[in-house]
Structure 1
Amino acid sequence: MTSSIRMVAVELTLEDLEREARAEGLCLPIEQTAAWARYEATVDGRSPWGAFRILCDGDPVAYVGLIDYQTHGYHYLRASHGPVWLHNPSPEEERAALDAIRSVVRKRGEGQAFVRCCVDADLGCCEHALSIVPYDTTVVIDVTGGEEQILARMKARGRRDVRKALREAPITCADETELAARSFSEYYDVLCETGARDGFRPAPASDYEDMLRILGPEHCRLYAGRDAAGRVVTWSLATVSGSRATRYYAASATATMRRHVTDKLLYFECCELGRFRGGSVTSYDLMAIGSSLCPSLLGLNEFKTKFAREVTHVAPDRDYPIRKAFYRSLVVARKAVVRLRDLRRARPASRLEVARPAVAHS
């Protein structure tokens, strides 16, 4: 069932989208900017697809930039942290915006299977996002007012841990954006160690190098903590768009992770970002904690929630099928992959498998 509200999507350049959004008082997520589209264009299988002003009765109500993703032999479109609305939309308005986006996708006729974007309402036309963990809750730290004010706004547990970290954590923190832009290898080694410990595979080092280079120091900062021997043991990469900063990536060496080094670095980041560009940055988004929608992320809550007294609700990623029959086949295939993976985990290993050496895959 379609919405009774009628909206249309009018194409414009990303530069025009940014200019209009600023005029409307919007702070765009970094993923909805021209700088981000230039970065995405360097990643294999991704290309900027289009930017749109969504109109209702001739008036703008939202803006959205879309990236084409190619994976496993098919294409889909993604609007990371978009659409960006001028007001809090009703479920019917969200459905009307999706219909407007579908209209332009079908008009081009390039065969994308679905559009992945942020939709707050649990609409019947949308599906739970395939192959990713969407989240609807995050922690946003107010970084205004200076060091003491930042600390005072944390939960008591956060203040206690940060003060302990300032006294005892064996690291020196610094903004190392320029160093990382020249060579990312030292930071990448820590990221690989983190991935091996936490069960994820980092992207190629070139992705992070491209991110630093293409977004530039105005939109991308890297903060690091070094031990007494001068080795990087913890770091994070933050993006900046307008007044909003986001903690995009972070990594820590296993040997020091229980010595409050991350608490010390995160507080340092907050203070540095609060001073960045004359205090123009006001918030720092830690990106994703667990909830009933994404219980697999609940392990993040204990650390992240102590840095703010409240959590923040956000619209989660959902898939809006364009080619419905094909999308259903993707769902079936995904379920089969998950079942096979679970069976492999559950069955006991054979003697041959126990004896076989581990093989590293790129």
Structure 2
Amino acid sequence: MQVKKLAREEYEAALTALGVNAPVEQLPVWQEFESTIPGRSPWGFVSFEDQGALVAAASFVQYETHGYRYLRAHHAPVWGHEPSAAEEHAAMEALASFVRAEDKRQVFARLAVKHELPVTRPCLSTLPYDMTVVIDLTGGDDEILARMKPRGRRDVRKALRECQVSFADETELATSSFDEYYEVMIETAARDGFTPAPCEEYRNMLRILGPEHCRLFAGRLDGQVITWTLATISGERATRYYGASRSGSARALATDRLIYFECCELSRMGCTEYDQMGIGSDFQPATKSLNTFKTKFAKDGERCIAPDRDVPFKRGFYSALHKVKDVRGALRAMKNKED
């Protein structure tokens, strides 16, 4: 296996030659978006070749944090076929040799590797997942509803009957000003216990990806935004990337109806699949709480995917980072116990 650096035009040609629908994060425009986020910058595009034949490609962004640098390729490499463990191992070894020769500053790469390999390590940070839910958008509104689990159909029908919220594609409005939507995200973050990205990051995502690759769907009650979703699009595949909703008794109904609205709208735009962006499993039990809600919208929608894993280039440095993380985790555990 051999890794080669590509110009943008060569990379786009490689994706076409592979004949697969690349994830939105692997489109060159995603590098333009990530370059607006502090600490991130485009690193480049590469191909993976086996005996001279193209088998995969990847787009890498450089991340700088805590005084070191690493490479990130979301949902990549993009393979033209389902790779075996041996093929993935050869690709990761080739990538490590290439990066060590090309850029000695990089400590590791984080990318999607289906098989657990001797050259990979569990992610130093983030919560990777190996299962997701994909909603089939073919056949129109009635077929989308019919393919849900009984609980999903019941909840959506109840929302259609009782929810007084009005729904629309508000991509253009959100691109011009994201402030109203960000208020809802702040409320969601406070309720669910996470830190939202800065407001400008969401607006840049809409602005740079453009309506071809990014849409915002929202629900309003008495003119006020109470729920919204930011969905990405690449070819025929859409992904439910971000979502937020105000607290209140009507929240569940509004969210159920919004998701169904998104499915129907994306189907009319030509999308055939809608990825719900990860559920829990034995690989990642921390997110199993998401399963009941996400799986109800697709009776046969669960899919196994390649999870993120780290490939160290500077093994000693990388091991030291893991040790620091373990110490910090132990100190936090002690503090929580004392509290």
TM-score interval for Structure 1 and Structure 2 normalised by the shorter chain: over 0.9
| Stretch of structure 1 that moved more, 256-265 or 213-222 | 256-265
How do 1:218-229 and structure 2 match up within 5 A? 218-227=212-221, 229=222
C-alpha deviation, 1:195, in angstroms: 0.5
Specify the alignment match of 1:296 in structure 2: 286
How do 1:156-305 and structure 2 match up within 5 A? 156-227=150-221, 229-256=222-249, 258-276=251-269, 279=270, 281-305=271-295
Matching of residue 62 in structure 1 with residue 56 in structure 2:
yes
Separation in structure 1 between the aligned mates of residue 225 and residue 208 of structure 2, nearest angstrom: 23
Matching of residue 316 in structure 1 with residue 310 in structure 2:
no
C-alpha deviation, 1:245, in angstroms: 0.5
C-alpha deviation, 1:168, in angstroms: 1.0
- Secondary structure at the aligned position of 1:21 is classed as helix
Matching of residue 145 in structure 1 with residue 139 in structure 2:
yes
Separation in structure 1 between the aligned mates of residue 150 and residue 9 of structure 2, nearest angstrom: 43
- Secondary structure at the aligned position of 1:238 is classed as strand
| Stretch of structure 1 that moved more, 195-204 or 255-264 | 255-264
* Alpha-carbon displacement from aligned partner over 1:128-187 (angstroms, at most 9, x marks no partner): 101210000000011111100111111111111111111112311100000100110111
- Secondary structure at the aligned position of 1:254 is classed as coil
- Secondary structure at the aligned position of 1:255 is classed as coil
How do 1:112-123 and structure 2 match up within 5 A? 112-123=106-117
User: What letter matches 1:16 in structure 2?
Assistant: E
Task: Give the counterpart of 1:338 among 288, 304, 329.
Answer: 329
C-alpha deviation, 1:18, in angstroms: 2.4
- Secondary structure at the aligned position of 2:183 is classed as helix
Specify the alignment match of 1:27 in structure 2: 21
Any conservation in 1 of the 2:18–2:54 contact (CA below 8 Å)?
no
* Alpha-carbon displacement from aligned partner over 1:265-305 (angstroms, at most 9, x marks no partner): 000000000011xx2x1111000100011111011101000
Specify the alignment match of 1:94 in structure 2: 88
- Secondary structure at the aligned position of 1:129 is classed as coil
Task: Give the counterpart of 1:13 among 7, 15, 20.
Answer: 7
C-alpha deviation, 1:74, in angstroms: 0.2
C-alpha deviation, 1:257, in angstroms: 5.3
Structure 2: stretches of 5+ with no match in the other structure: none
Question: 4+ residue runs of structure 1 moved beyond 3 angstroms?
Answer: 256-259
User: What letter matches 2:292 in structure 1?
Assistant: E
- Secondary structure at the aligned position of 1:222 is classed as strand
TM-score by length of 1: 0.91
Over the matched positions of the two proteins, sequence identity in percent amounts to 52
Matching of residue 105 in structure 1 with residue 99 in structure 2:
yes
C-alpha deviation, 1:110, in angstroms: 3.1
User: What letter matches 1:285 in structure 2?
Assistant: D
Structure 1: stretches of 5+ with no match in the other structure: 1-6, 349-362
| Stretch of structure 1 that moved more, 46-55 or 7-16 | 7-16
Any conservation in 1 of the 2:62–2:70 contact (CA below 8 Å)?
yes
- Secondary structure at the aligned position of 1:145 is classed as coil
- Secondary structure at the aligned position of 1:139 is classed as strand
User: What letter matches 1:265 in structure 2?
Assistant: L
Specify the alignment match of 2:149 in structure 1: 155
Q: CA 1:75/1:179 → structure 2, altered by over 3 Å: closer, same or farther? A: same
| Stretch of structure 1 that moved more, 108-117 or 75-84 | 108-117
* Alpha-carbon displacement from aligned partner over 1:104-139 (angstroms, at most 9, x marks no partner): 211123321101110111112211101210000000
- Secondary structure at the aligned position of 1:307 is classed as coil
Q: CA RMSD in A?
A: 1.1
Any conservation in 2 of the 1:14–1:33 contact (CA below 8 Å)?
no
TM-score by length of 2: 0.97
Q: How many residues align?
A: 338
Separation in structure 2 between the aligned mates of residue 139 and residue 130 of structure 1, nearest angstrom: 25
Specify the alignment match of 1:75 in structure 2: 69
Separation in structure 2 between the aligned mates of residue 259 and residue 284 of structure 1, nearest angstrom: 20
- Secondary structure at the aligned position of 1:301 is classed as helix
Any conservation in 2 of the 1:194–1:254 contact (CA below 8 Å)?
yes
User: What letter matches 2:308 in structure 1?
Assistant: D
| Stretch of structure 1 that moved more, 8-17 or 312-321 | 8-17
Separation in structure 1 between the aligned mates of residue 83 and residue 165 of structure 2, nearest angstrom: 45
C-alpha deviation, 1:17, in angstroms: 1.9
